[in-house]
Amino acid sequence: MAQFDFSIVTTGEFRGWLVSGFLLSLRLTCITWILSLPIATAIALCRLSSVAMLRGAGAVFVEGIRNIPLLVHLLFWYFAMPELLPETARTWLYDHGAESICAVIALTFYTSSYMAEDIRSGIRAVPATQLEAARALGFGYLASMRRVVLPQAVRIVVPPLISQTLNLWKNTSITTVIGTAELMYQAQRVETASFRGVETFGVTTLAYLSVSLVITALALWFHHRFPVRAT
């Protein structure tokens, strides 16, 4: 019977590799989330705009991004996009961690396209009379959204955004295909060096599961603390 020793991959150099990958995965998630939220909000407002050009631009962004697999986005931004940059910009990119930068760009566009639809749905769930009342008081469209509609939409939007955060956390594992040294990349590195597949990927699975459960628990807490009531 095979003997399993998890201490081999949780001590010494191997532990350092896994911890560094875990921390990078968390950083990718946090940075992408911070960048995606304002972009998604802007796209959602464009899609709800009365200006046809803005609505069209928002629709093109959402449908163009969401209908292409994340893997294709990653490969495009890492292998194709740098070739379109000037030599100095390309050199700077490769000297400052092109893998992580391209991963953040791809994840940001991909995540924001899904967040935008959640935010748009939340805004549309707010009664139209709220916007009409704000406009009647003299607020412009953007001011009405910022001061009246968006604050009411937050409670509706937060649960699906938490779900998108969970998807984002899991999607960081795909960035290993372009050499981003996140958790999955480091796990493969440890397995190759130690020949301990069960231990390595067992620990890696627990790491992904632990963060996923924290995000899920946050969603459940918010649902019970701030239940969405029909208006």
Domain ranges of the chain: 13-225
**Range 152-181 burial, b when 16+ CB lie within 10 A, else e:** bbeebbbbbbbebbbebbebbbbbbbbebb
| CATH domain 13-225 topology | MetI-like fold (1.10.3720)
Radius of gyration of the chain (CA): 21
Please tell me the distance from the alpha carbon of residue 44 to that of residue 58, in angstroms, as a whole number. Answer: 7
Residue 166's nearest CA partner among 111, 100, 106 is: 111
pTM strictly above 0.85 = yes
> Minimum mean pLDDT among 24-28, 94-98, 113-117, 186-190: which range?
94-98
Terminal alpha carbon distance of the chain:
61
pLDDT at 1 over 60: no
